[in-house]
Structure formats: structure tokens, C-alpha cells
Amino acid sequence: MSDSDQWHYTDKTGKQSGPIPTRELLALIAAKEVPMSAMAWKDGMPQWKPVSQIEELHTQVAPQVANTPQPPTSGAAAPTPQAPQAASTLGTTASSVSPTQASPQTSPEPAAVDPYETPNTPHNPFHDVPDRPLSYDEIHGYTPDYGGIGRLAYFLLNFLFGAGFVFAFMSLGLFGAVAGTEGAAAMSYLGIFGLYGAYILITLILAGKRLKNTGCSAWLALLSFIPLANIWVSIRCICAPPGYSDTKKLDTAGIILFCLFVLAPILLFVVALAMGAIAGPPTPAN
């Protein structure tokens, strides 16, 4: 048999190994590293078979075992040669003895192997890789903790703080109007400016925490003061899922929110045109 024939086999524990040349597999079988009950397969065979049922293997194992020199045992007497037996009493020669009779099956039968499955070779790093893009967890082996706040928390906190500041603004304005004194009016104006500054600071903090949750630096929230860049900040805070900087992929909720973010201004503009809110200057009467 040519050494170019490559064999896949199962060892004593049932683990699939290979491919190896025929001579190496025969050596493993002779050394009993691969039992006769182990399964073996090579290209061209319809299915996996036990080694004892593959003629081209077990017919060559017996000569190899017979020709393997046995190391002498130190300190022991040489074995006494026995008288030769007649060939008629043996009924068969040593070379025709079945290996399954010479070597009892002591290892358990390995699990059945699918003959239509490509052998799993240990040196193949691409075995069992799914035919799809791998997620961040599958690549890195853990789920990262980005910190910050998610989309729902960002929306709810902005809503609650916004409603609270509107109520505070109205209360201060009403206080200045009812008091009717210059001191009260000045205090209401100072209170309104202070609340407005606090509102800006809180919205920046919330935006920074939301950007951190998407995998960005929280300092990018300062882009809210730059025209056009603040649109990017808003889209990122509203639509991007956690870890978007690593995955670069919107989930279903993010896609829906992005469509609403883009379509809402267009719909408002169309409604304003339909209601006549955006119109040219009136034509002077003749």
C-alpha cells in the first residue's frame, strides 16, 4: 500500500485523529495505540469501518507484530524453547491467524461516525466555523461591559428632566409676574438662567453616558455645540445599540428609530406645507 494514502482514525478514547500515512497507522496498530476495534476511514471508502474489518490494514498488522524485536528482560532466564507442533494439528499458520482472535477487544466501541462528515483534523483551525459573521462575544469570548446608559434610560431621563425643567421655568416666570417688584423679577430671571445652565449640563452628561454605552468617548458629547456635528451625536444617542463601535451594526430597534429620526422632520415639513404654515409673502392687492 502506498504511503501517500492518508487515513483518519479514532484512538482508544474515541477521539478522531489524522490524516496520517498507512505505515504510521500500521505502527500505531502494532503498538496497540490504536485498537482493532477503532474506526478508520480514507478517501474512497463509502463509510468508516473497524480496523479489524479493513483487510488492507489487519493483514499487514500480524507480520509487523511478528517482526517487531522484543527487548530482553534483564535478570530473567532465557525462555525454554518448546517443541514444534505439527502443521496438521494447528490447522492454520501463524500468518493466517485473525488479529481479532490474537488481540482480544478490551477497549469499548467508539461512538458511531457519520461517513458523510468530513473528518475533523486537529490542524484545521477553520473547522466548525459558522457560515455567518461572528459576533463580538464569539470572537473575544466574553461580553464587554461598556457602562453608561442604554437607549430607553436615555429617553426616559431626558423626558423626566425636560418635564421638570419646563415646570420650574413656568413657576419662576409666574412668580416674577405675580410679585410685581423689580427684585422678584430679577430673582426670577436669575433662576431661569441658572436652570437653563443646569439643563444644558445634565443633557451633556446624559449624552456622554449614552455615547460611552455605544463604545465612544463621553467627551464627544461636546460636539453637541457644533452645528451638523450635533446631528451625529443625536443619531448616535437615539439609534445606536450598546457596543456599536465594535459591531458597526444596528439592531432592529435601532433601524426603526433611525427611520423615525430621518422621516419625522420630512413629515413635519410636509404637514406644515399642507397647512399653509410655510407660505410666501402675501400678494399686494391692486
Residue ranges per domain, the chain?
1-67+104-112, 151-275
- Selected residue with higher pLDDT from 185 and 23: 23
Over residues 14-53, the pLDDT tens digits come to 777 777 888 887 888 888 788 887 888 887 777 888 877 8
Over residues 151-162, the pLDDT tens digits come to 999 999 999 999
C-alpha cell at 105: 477487544
Full-model pTM: 0.45
Give the Cα separation of 110 and 156 in Å (integer).
59
Phi, psi of 10 (to 5 degrees): -115, 140
> How far from 105 is each of 28, 101, 110, 223, CA to CA, in Å?
16, 9, 12, 75
Closest CA to 171 of 158, 184, 183, 182: 184
> What topology is assigned to 1-67+104-112 in CATH?
Dna Ligase; domain 1 (3.30.1490)
Longest dimension (CA), the chain: 142
